[in-house]
Structure 1
Amino acid sequence: MKESAVLGIDAGGTHTDAVLITGNGASPRLAASAKVKTRHDDLPASVREVLAALAGELGGAGAAFLAEVERVTLGTTLAVNALVQGRADSVGLALSAGPGLDPARFGLGEHVCVIPGGLDHRGVEVSPLQTDELARRAARWRDEGVAAVACVGKFSPRNPAHERAMGAAAVKASSLPVTLGHRLSGRLNFPRRVATAYYNAAVQRLHNDFLDVVEAALADAGIHAATRLLKADGGAVPTSLSRREPVQSILSGPAASVMGVMALCPETEQGCSLLLDMGGTTTDMALFFDGSPVIDRDGMLLQGRRTLVRALASTSIGVGGDSLLSVDGSGRDARVRTGPLRDGPALAFGGARPTLLDALNVLDAEAAPGASADRGDMAASREGLATLAAAHGLDARVLAQKAVDDALAQVALAARELVEAVNARPIYTLAALKAVREARPERVWLVGGPADCIRERLGAALGLPVASPPHAAVANAVGAALTLPTAGLEIYADTGRGLLRAPALDLEERISKGYTLNAAERRAGELLAAHLAAEGVPDAAVEVVEADLFATLDDGGYGSKDIRVACQVVPGIAGRL
């Protein structure tokens, strides 16, 4: 039997990695891996370079081997990096809530327009929508550099009519791309749906440009396989779907590292462990419990705002191998800070300013005095830190130790805060959507570029054993390659009005007065399975994760039922290396 081959690509802020994994069934093998510098000024070149390097690892038949790839899965931190660095697009935000709290208090950005009109909790209009002001504002937004519009109505999952009218008015006046909140989630949390729609609009252009670049580079390399992108919950979706909902993949980079550790570390099957993925720019952290990552039931957190995006429980801090060192003061009292800024590579790799990796090189100079592939030019690190130290009355080794101590303290604090935040409420994992006992890490898995340089020091700082799996430097790409497809769907049924709605699909169906919760559960599963099949993912195993029924009385005093059902395909990996 011909072996299957899957390709995983992870485009990070510092490096772009790729792996080719072969093998049928649940026995995958790493056939080749490659790593190149991410060229932010020429991302297509980065992707072409990593594919060429991968083909080179495969030898003379490399190009032919890549042409036989059956599936490509991508992970990237480019969108979240854009948000953190203020490079995301400016968004015009149109809000409608009707009576009650002023929706402007939930606004984001500098361009917010509150539109008169609203619906009640059942989706019945209580005041007509008035879009004249939105049309005027949207025309100005275009001239002010706004690149996209997000429209959100408070009860749009129950009735998207007002939200659709808002979107139509914005498009007519501005010709800008529009995100409608009800298409992203059917949950009735207005502030979180505002944030979800806003961030979706903010990264949509960057996200689609990235996919355009990667798909063109894959085609140039002779790869025409189905392409998917990781989501924040550790699953993967076809790029056609991801283009419409880029907010789901803003945290695909941390998700890739989590799924990579699942694939590389069978020891995560027992007890609780902490994942640390230290790259050039950030350190990403997540928790495992009995072999499955812990999920954040409150929704993905972006820039202090909760969204309605299901995500793994993770956190990121600006500490990585290329994090800049800064010094405040002089002599013994000088304070050395590591990160959060990054300005190119370490001195050891041709950079202009000292970084954490350079500090590690100085401390380890006696053990590894020359240049190495992992550490670069040790002499360049020593010279750069000596110059910075002299300017502040310090010895180079003292400065280096202060920098490393600060980095370790930041990692240890963030790890403690993640553990405490997870344990502050019931814990749920991807494998078992039920509360489990308290999670306290018993060991640490460390992946990423600087892993070998800092492993022992991290163990001392955390008071836990720290280990790195084989292929740790390309764990994210491994995770991408082996991640299974997933998706979720929510439906609402109102027997009083005789309507069933699937907001994310823009679907409405008539139902009977006697419609039941069991019928709604079956219908939700059918709709999600059909949706995935249409996107090229047939035979998905769907399960119901939430089902609620509320008895209500309409204005005439007649009884009816409000039903909500959420179902999903649980993320996972195709096998372990």
Structure 2
Amino acid sequence: MDKTDEVALMFLGVDVGGTFTDAVVVDNKRILKQVKVKTNSENVLQGILTALDRILENCELDLLERVVVSSTVVTNALIVGDTEEVFLAVMPGTGMDITNSFPVAPFIVEGYVNHHGKVTKNVELNYLAAQAQAKGKRVAAISGKFSVRNQSNEVALRQELSELDFEQFFLGSEMSGELNFVRRTNSAYFSAAIYQKYAHFIHQIVTSIRSRGINVPIHILKADGGTMPIEVALQHPVEAIFTGPAASVLGIEALSLPEGQAISLDVGGTTTDIAFWENGRPLLANKGARINGFPTTVRAYHMRSVPIGGDSLLQRQGDAYLVGPKRVDVAAALGGNKATLGDALIVLSVVSFGDIEKAKNALIKLCYDGEDHLVVAMRFVEVAVSVLEQTIKEMIQEWEVKPVYTVNDMISGTSFRPEILVGVGGGATGLVQRLALKMNLPVSVPPGAMVANAVGAALARPTLIGTLRADSQEGYYIIPEGGIREDLSCQATRSELEDILRSWLLSEAQRWHLPVAGVEVIACEEFTTIQNYYSIGKIVYLKMQLAPGIIYGVQGQEVSF
């Protein structure tokens, strides 16, 4: 698909936030239509349906190319523990302490694959013990050390456990082709834990969209800013975590690409998502995202979600001014009975919505004798700004102390010195501008900032990741994500291996009807194997992906909701 064809397409994006559900239709590099409806936390789907009905009114459905949904369903389920019990079976081999490495105590199975990918011990399952521990559980996760170099033990264990009537299995080797047993295991576990809830949500989404006469492909946004077909999403549910922050990053990229070292802040009703940028690219988290404190293989941006937003409850305890983490469903300016951070911004005339008198009266209730409500409102805003500034300092420190892996890292360093703040979301004009003043930085709030997340979802490129490990001495290569193991010539070069992996990615893209902007190498390691002082072969590890990002930039527009 060439660039001209891309620009002619119409894209629909839906972003489900904690406070609002946004939808946009993007066509010919402009936001054609946008809607914002209140999210019903008790019935998230209803908000999506309302947004769809409003956005599709008078819309030419035959021009629609794709629908992308960004949802908090996975994130919220994992945070509050609304998940399925999982039978977690692991094969860690010998000499590895896995105490407290996983969210639940695993069922240990005998079986081992060594670092060369050779099975040194076949699977030995205590079936009765497994049956007892699996009682009442509908999903299972299986993971073995070095399984990305040989999946046979994981596959064999799945076959043996299939007699226990699990509805779904997730294998660690299919979560990622990377060497990190603990991260792969946690990814398999979390995918299993949310599978039932996610599958139900996906079914509702598909049914609802199809019932409205939309028959185009439906994609789900991923944490790394790419999209995946909804059918693939069910194979990797954990990839749908942190899609809200990812959507805001992509929205900023589409509306106003930051230059140099920049910090973006998406000020929503419930949280503020903070991301780092360098030379127009959002920075990725080192190694992978953590979920409830456990490391995973999920590629995600270097971000932090702070529980401060426009709907954050304002309270006073003695001399203390408290902003959040509790939120209020309706701000005082919109008819609520408690003051929110949004109300404070309204009375300070830095944002404009609702009834300023109602906001003022709510702030007056928080004033002690003789206090000016404007001074009190400013103090609350200053508290919120201080929390955001402190979080940014912590993120900078975290980034600068990350491990150094390459010579380039040592030469260029990992310092981060922000040059500009970029704000999106409903409270961006007030909160981010105040933060910029405190940090002595310029600020940009692009047109269309109110629906940046939905814009990001609409314009996100599909992406797939593949890994390849080759051992020329043993004469084979594997692509774990595809369950592929093939013979390999001992003379194979790295370039030839890249071609093999690229061809697999392109064939997968064709299978799922995905447009391809390019294939990029994101990791490569090459080692020479030595025996009796002579080189006898090479071990090569490759990781490549369909390049993520946005399809094109757009011209935003300011709309009052």
TM-score in same-fold range (> 0.5): yes
Given candidates 227, 230, 233, the residue that maps to 1:236 is 227
**Alpha-carbon distance in 2 for matches of 1:151, 1:299:** 20
Relative to structure 1, is the Cα distance of residues 427 and 547 closer, same or farther in structure 2, using a 3 angstrom cutoff?
closer
Q: Give the TM-score taking structure 2 as reference length.
A: 0.88
How far 1:66 moved relative to its partner? Answer: 3.1
Poorly superposed stretches of 4+, deviation over 6 Å: 392-395, 434-437
Tell me what 2:558 maps to: none
Match of 2:354 in 1: 376
**Within 5 Å, which residues of 2 pair with 1:517-536?**
517-536=494-513
Equivalent residue of 1:129, what SS? strand
The aligned counterpart of 2:458 is 481
Equivalents in 1 of 2:293, 2:429: separation in Å? 33
Aligned twin of 1:323 = 312
Match of 2:16 among 11, 15, 28: 11
Deviations 1:466-513 (A, max 9, x none): 221101110011111112222111011223333221111111112233
- Counterpart of 2:86, as a letter, is V
| Contact 2:265/2:432 (<8 A) preserved | no
The aligned residue for residue 431 of structure 1 is none
Partner of 2:551: 574
Q: CA deviation at 1:400?
A: 3.8
1:84 to 2:84 alignment: no
Aligned CA distance change for structure 1 residues 324 and 97 (closer, same or farther; 3 Å)? same
Measured in 2, the distance between the counterparts of 1:467 and 1:408 equals 17
Deviation at 1:315, TM superposition (A): 1.4
| Partner amino acid, structure 2, of 1:215 | V
Q: Which residue of 2 aligns with 1:261?
A: 252
Matched, 1:337 2:315: no
- In structure 2, the residue matched to 1:283 is 272
- Larger deviation, residues 294-303 vs 221-230: 294-303
- Report the CA distance shift for 1:351/1:100 in structure 2 as closer, same or farther (over 3 A): farther
In the alignment, the residues of structure 2 paired with residue 254 and residue 375 of structure 1 have an alpha-carbon distance, to the nearest angstrom, of: 25
Aligned to 2:478: 501
CA distance in 2, matches of 1:538, 1:286: 27
2:408 matched to which residue of 1? none
Query: Are residues 538 and 386 of structure 1, via their aligned partners in 2, closer, same or farther at CA, if it must alter by over 3 Å?
Result: closer
Residue in structure 1 matching 2:293, options 296, 304, 313: 304
SS of 1:568 mapped into structure 2 = strand
User: Is contact 1:92-1:138 (8 Å) kept?
Assistant: no
Q: What is the aligned partner in structure 1 of residue 345 from structure 2?
A: 360
1:116 aligns with 2:94: no
Deviations 1:52-96 (A, max 9, x none): 22234xxxxx14x13431111222233223322333434332221
CA contact (8 A) 1:104 1:112 kept: no
Q: What residue number does 1:74 align with?
A: 69
List alignment gaps of at least 5 residues for structure 2: 406-410, 555-561
The alpha carbon displacement at 1:562 in A equals 2.0
1:456-495 equivalent positions in 2, closer than 5 A: 456-495=433-472
* Structure 1 contact 178–201 (Cα < 8 Å) conserved: yes
SS of residue in 1 equivalent to 2:124: coil
- The gaps in structure 1 that reach 5 residues or longer are 57-61, 429-433
Residue identity in the other structure for 2:25 = L
Among residues 103, 107, 122, which one is paired with 2:102 in the alignment?
Answer: 107
8 Å contact 1:325–1:356 — kept in the other structure? yes
Query: Could you tell which deviates more after superposition, 274-283 or 486-495?
Result: 486-495
Q: Take 1:546 and 1:451, find their aligned partners in 2: how far apart are those partners? A: 36
Question: Helix, strand or coil for the counterpart of 1:7?
Answer: strand
Partner SS, residue 280 of structure 1: coil
Q: In the alignment, does 2:536 pair up with 1:547?
A: no
Q: Partner residue of 1:154? A: 145
Q: Is the 8 A contact 2:463 2:548 kept in 1?
A: yes
Residue equivalent to 1:347: 332
Residue 420 of structure 1 deviates from its aligned partner by: 2.8
Q: Is the 8 A contact 2:421 2:443 kept in 1?
A: yes
Between the aligned partners of 2:214 and 2:180, the Cα distance in structure 1 is 42
Taking a change above 3 Å as real, the CA distance of residues 539 and 575 of structure 1, as seen in their structure-2 partners, is: closer
Q: CA deviation at 1:537?
A: 1.4
Partner residue of 2:206 out of 195, 215, 223:
215
Contact 1:17 1:35 in 2 (8 A): yes
Q: Is 2:272 aligned against 1:272? A: no
Greater shift in the superposed pair: 178-187 or 393-402: 393-402
Aligned partners of 1:408 and 1:383: how far apart in 2?
Answer: 23
Structure 1 residue 353: Cα displacement: 4.3
Secondary structure of the residue aligned to 1:312 is coil
For residues 452-477 of structure 1, give each alpha carbon's deviation from its aligned partner in whole angstroms, at most 9, with x where no partner exists: 34243222233222221101110011
When normalised by structure 1's length, the TM-score is 0.86
Deviation at 1:383, TM superposition (A): 4.3
Shift of 1:412: 0.7
Letter in 1 for 2:174: R
Q: 1:345 to 1:302 in 2, by over 3 A?
A: farther
Per-residue CA deviations over 1:389-428 (Å, capped at 9, x if unaligned) read 56x9987656544432221111111112222323334899
Q: SS at the partner of 1:311?
A: coil
1:103-138 deviation digits (Å, cap 9, x = unpaired): 3441213x42222232211222233322225x6445
**Residues 44, 190 of structure 1: alpha-carbon distance in 2 compared, 3 angstrom cutoff:** same
Q: AA paired with 1:264? A: L
Distance 2:123 2:535 in 1: 28
Distance in structure 1 (CA, Å) of the matches to 2:342 and 2:73: 22
Give the direction of change, closer, same or farther, for the CA distance of 1:4–1:521 in structure 2 (3 Å limit): closer
Q: Give the Cα–Cα distance (whole angstroms) in 1 for the partners of residues 162 and 337 of structure 2.
A: 46
Taking the aligned partners of 1:424 and 1:67, their CA distance within structure 2 comes to 51
> Quick one: distance in 2 between partners of 1:212 and 1:436?
47
Distance 1:553 1:29, change over 3 A: same
Name which of structure 1's ranges 452-461 and 150-159 shifts more when overlaid on structure 2: 452-461
In 2, Cα distance between equivalents of 1:250 and 1:312: 11
1:449 paired with 2:426, answer yes
Report the residue type matching 2:324 in the other structure: G
In the other structure, the counterpart of 1:252 is 243
Bigger CA drift: 352-361 or 542-551? 352-361
Distance 1:10 1:102, change over 3 A: same
Structure 2 Cα separation of the partners of residues 89 and 317 of structure 1 = 27
Confirm whether residue 411 of structure 1 aligns to residue 388 of structure 2.
yes
Measure how far apart 1:344 and its partner are: 2.7
Does structure 1 conserve the Cα–Cα contact (< 8 Å) formed by 2:101 and 2:294?
A: no
Q: Which residue of structure 2 lines up, in the alignment, with residue 39 of structure 1?
A: 40
Partner Cα distance (1:176, 1:379) in 2: 56
How much identity, in percent, do the aligned residues show? 32
1:203 aligns with 2:203: no
Measure, in 2, the Cα distance between the counterparts of 1:81 and 1:400. 31
Query: Secondary structure of the equivalent of 2:64?
Result: coil
**Which residue does 1:180 correspond to in 2?**
171
> Residue type of the partner of 1:7?
L
Output the CA distance in 2 between the equivalents of 1:427 and 1:351: 51
Counterpart residue type for residue 123 of structure 1: G
CA contact (8 A) 1:426 1:435 kept: no
Distance across 2 between alignment mates of 1:347 and 1:141: 50
Q: Taking structure 1 as reference, are residues 176 and 400 closer, same or farther at Cα in structure 2, changes over 3 Å only?
A: farther
**RMSD of aligned Cα (Å):** 3.0
Structure 2 equivalent of residue 59 of structure 1: none
Match of 2:170, as an amino acid? T
